[in-house]
Amino acid sequence: MNTSSRKIDPSEKFINEDVINELLSSTAEPSLEEVEAIIAKSMSKEILSVEEVATLLRINNDEHMQKVFETAKTIKQSIYGNRIVMFAPLYISNYCVNGCTYCGYKCSNEFPRKILSDEELQKEARVLVEMGHKRIVIEAGEDYTNCPVDYITHAMDVLYKTKVDNGALRRINVNIAATSVENYKKLKAADIGTFILFQETYHEESYKSYHPTGPKSNYLYHLTAMDRAMEGGIDDVGIGALFGLYDYRFEVLALMMHRDHLEEKYGVGPHTISVPRIKKAKDVSVDDMQYAVSDEDFKKLVAIIRLAVPYTGIILSTRENAEFREEVVNLGVSQLSAGSKTDVGGYQDDEKMENQFELADHRSQEEIIESLLKKGYLPSYCTACYRTGRTGDRFMQVAKNGTIQNLCQPNALMTLSEYLEDYCDDELKALGNKVIEANIDKIPSDKMRAKTIDRLQRISDGERDLFF
Ligand code: SAM
């Protein structure tokens, strides 16, 4: 792909840095009345404005912040209940022509580069399926010679077709570099779930210094990727920022501007927001990063995002350690990765390749599930929305009118039941079945509850892949 086709008119920049800076220039602590008015708005599940989010970010008073945390928990509970959607990343190529200073895969780092063959893709898929995963995110560096988009779509086909006994990967999300409308159309035709791309930092000047070389150094092309994805027919997109590169408050406000832009232009905001925090990597030290985000600030930003976009999924990866993840889940996270590897071919464990960055939650998928179950969470392997075409604005409609409660809860229970039947020992199965029993009553409709009980019996009798 030549770089002239990547020229974007500067007027396309929808992040207004002046507005953000102006909002951040005030440090005045909001009054209790102001905080309570915003909390009331978000309790009625209305999306918060950029200005309201800026007000919440100015909170310094512990009592006021505590109210925000409590609200985040309440909103999370009322929309997502105890459900946590599980997924795993799958690194399929570490070839990269970019020089992103924070990334272990940057082109200046010398180590053997690798792209998975069909056989290796199948092996990785088998391991993931045997772990119980149904939803993955393909990850790859940017290199159109060694890893063109046609390879990515081919890999998706290989992965979707790999079956092991009752299991298969049912939803493949993709996190690859910003690309053209034509390539997004190819990803759509290959049955992509969500197209995920992090802006890294929305602050243009900082973006340029972190991305000195390679096609990714084009801020505007990267920023407008979701527009091209939408034009290419992908209405399910996931945005995010790499926290630690710039002032986290700037990133949160910019994420809200990105949300507003997508809502205004395409009628649907992001399906998910990811909140990765920067980690140590090959030739990347995080020791004296000026904008490192503390745990307290991280909890604050997650809770504020939950209040700001009640229906948007929040994704937390294994970059965070086990204890902290379980704390943050409470504040509004709706999707967790588990048992993750960030090296190419990492699941089959034949030979260890270079990691993109260091992980902090090293527990196995089973250990994570056990821990979630013990705390009363309901791990969900559901992929139904995308497979029934409930994406984009169709998803938002059912989410906002509450119908989703009669779909997500049964689907979570049924996919957990499949997981317990197929991949767990008796002890974990007993624990999981208790959680299923405790959560059946939380299906609002009598009819759907009865249907779910019937389907749980059918799963126990051997049927698979039942969903609403
Ligand atoms: N090559 C694609 C791109 O250009 O966006 C795919 C992204 S990469 C496989 C996935 C994400 O990992 C990046 O978007 C970045 O936010 C994150 N990442 C890179 N280096 C990291 C580090 N040192 N610590 C934590 N996350 C990192």
Instruction: Delimit the domains of the chain by residue range.
Output: 17-75, 81-363, 393-460
CA of 417 to the centre of ligand 1 (A): 33
Q: Which fold has domain 81-363?
A: TIM Barrel (3.20.20)
CA distance 40 to 295: 26
Contact assessment for residue 275 and residue 301, using Cβ atoms and an 8 Å cutoff? yes
Amino acid at 361: D
| Max intra-chain CA distance, the chain | 62
CA distance 142 to 153: 14
What was the pLDDT predicted at 89?
97
Residue nearest to atom 25 of ligand 1 (CA): 278
DSSP code, position 281: B
Instruction: Find out whether the beta carbon of 137 lies less than 6 Å from any atom of ligand 1.
Output: no
CA of 140 to the centre of ligand 1 (A): 9
CA of 198 to the centre of ligand 1 (A): 8
Pocket mutation for ligand 1, best pick of 6, 101, 102 (most atoms within 8 Å of C-beta): 102
Query: Cβ of 305: how many Cβ atoms within 10 Å?
Result: 25
Contact assessment for residue 210 and residue 100, using Cβ atoms and an 8 Å cutoff? yes
From the alpha carbon of 281, which atom of ligand 1 is closest?
23
pLDDT average, residue stretch 430-441:
96
Contact assessment for residue 202 and residue 254, using Cβ atoms and an 8 Å cutoff? yes
CA of 448 to the centre of ligand 1 (A): 41
What was the pLDDT predicted at 37?
98
What was the pLDDT predicted at 398?
81
User: How many Å separate Cα 403 from the centre of its chain?
Assistant: 23
CA of 103 to the centre of ligand 1 (A): 6
Instruction: Find out whether the beta carbon of 418 lies less than 6 Å from any atom of ligand 1.
Output: no
What was the pLDDT predicted at 426?
96
Measured torsion, CA atoms of residues 414, 385, 326, 366, in degrees rounded to the nearest 10:
50
Residue nearest to atom 11 of ligand 1 (CA): 198
CA distance 269 to 235: 9
Query: Cβ of 114: how many Cβ atoms within 10 Å?
Result: 19
Rounded to the nearest integer, the mean pLDDT of the chain is 94
Pocket mutation for ligand 1, best pick of 87, 92, 97, 103 (most atoms within 8 Å of C-beta): 103
**Closest by Cα among 248, 239, 254, 241 to 289:** 248
pLDDT category of residue 1 using cuts at 50, 70 and 90 = low
Pocket mutation for ligand 1, best pick of 105, 107, 174, 198 (most atoms within 8 Å of C-beta): 198
What was the pLDDT predicted at 382?
94
CA distance 31 to 149: 51
From the alpha carbon of 139, which atom of ligand 1 is closest?
9
Instruction: Find out whether the beta carbon of 240 lies less than 6 Å from any atom of ligand 1.
Output: no
Residue nearest to atom 3 of ligand 1 (CA): 177
CA distance 162 to 168: 6
Q: Map tokens 């909002």 to a residue.
A: 23
Angle 86-89-91 from CA coordinates, rounded to 5°: 165
3-class SS of residue 167 = strand
Q: Map tokens 């209040």 to a residue.
A: 307
CA of 77 to the centre of ligand 1 (A): 30
Instruction: Find out whether the beta carbon of 142 lies less than 6 Å from any atom of ligand 1.
Output: yes
Instruction: Find out whether the beta carbon of 138 lies less than 6 Å from any atom of ligand 1.
Output: no
Instruction: Find out whether the beta carbon of 195 lies less than 6 Å from any atom of ligand 1.
Output: no
pLDDT category of residue 351 using cuts at 50, 70 and 90 = low
Give me the percent of the chain exceeding a pLDDT of 90.
87
397 contact partners, CB below 8 Å, separation of at least 6: none
Instruction: Find out whether the beta carbon of 56 lies less than 6 Å from any atom of ligand 1.
Output: no
CA of 241 to the centre of ligand 1 (A): 10
pLDDT category of residue 386 using cuts at 50, 70 and 90 = confident
User: How many Å separate Cα 262 from the centre of its chain?
Assistant: 17
CA distance 338 to 377: 14
195 contact partners, CB below 8 Å, separation of at least 6: 173, 174, 175, 184, 187, 226, 229, 234, 236, 237, 238
CA atoms within 13 A on the CB side of 174: 30
Contact assessment for residue 355 and residue 61, using Cβ atoms and an 8 Å cutoff? no
Angle 134-385-160 from CA coordinates, rounded to 5°: 35
Reported residue count of the chain is: 468
CA distance 267 to 230: 10
The per-residue pLDDT for range 129-159, each reduced to its tens digit, is: 999 999 999 999 999 999 999 999 999 999 9
Is the confidence at residue 2, as pLDDT, over 80?
no
CA of 60 to the centre of ligand 1 (A): 31
CA of 319 to the centre of ligand 1 (A): 11
Is the confidence at residue 39, as pLDDT, over 70?
yes
What was the pLDDT predicted at 393?
82
pLDDT category of residue 4 using cuts at 50, 70 and 90 = low
Task: Assign 3-state DSSP to the chain and report helix, strand, coil percentages, each to 5.
Answer: 50, 10, 40
Q: Which letter, b or e, does each residue of 200-214 get, where b requires 16 or more Cβ atoms within 10 Å of its Cβ?
A: bbbbeebbeebbeeb
The per-residue pLDDT for range 51-107, each reduced to its tens digit, is: 999 999 999 999 999 999 999 999 999 888 899 999 999 999 999 999 999 999 999
Query: Cβ of 377: how many Cβ atoms within 10 Å?
Result: 20
The per-residue pLDDT for range 388-431, each reduced to its tens digit, is: 988 888 887 888 887 888 999 999 999 999 999 999 999 999 99
Q: Map tokens 């915003």 to a residue.
A: 38
Amino acid at 244: G
Whole-number Cα distances in Å, 360 to 36, 319, 348, 377, 466: 36, 5, 20, 21, 34
Residue nearest to atom 6 of ligand 1 (CA): 176
Measured N-to-C along each axis, helices 365-374 and 426-440 cross at an angle, to the nearest 10 degrees, of 40
Handedness of CA 312, 57, 23, 8 (dihedral sign): negative
Instruction: Find out whether the beta carbon of 222 lies less than 6 Å from any atom of ligand 1.
Output: no
From the alpha carbon of 140, which atom of ligand 1 is closest?
9
CA distance 408 to 413: 9
CA of 187 to the centre of ligand 1 (A): 20
Which phi and psi (to 5°) does residue 405 adopt?
-60, -30
Pocket mutation for ligand 1, best pick of 356, 358, 359 (most atoms within 8 Å of C-beta): 356
pLDDT average, residue stretch 302-328:
95
Pocket mutation for ligand 1, best pick of 357, 358, 359 (most atoms within 8 Å of C-beta): 357
**Closest by Cα among 101, 71, 334 to 209:** 101
Measured N-to-C along each axis, helices 50-57 and 248-266 cross at an angle, to the nearest 10 degrees, of 160
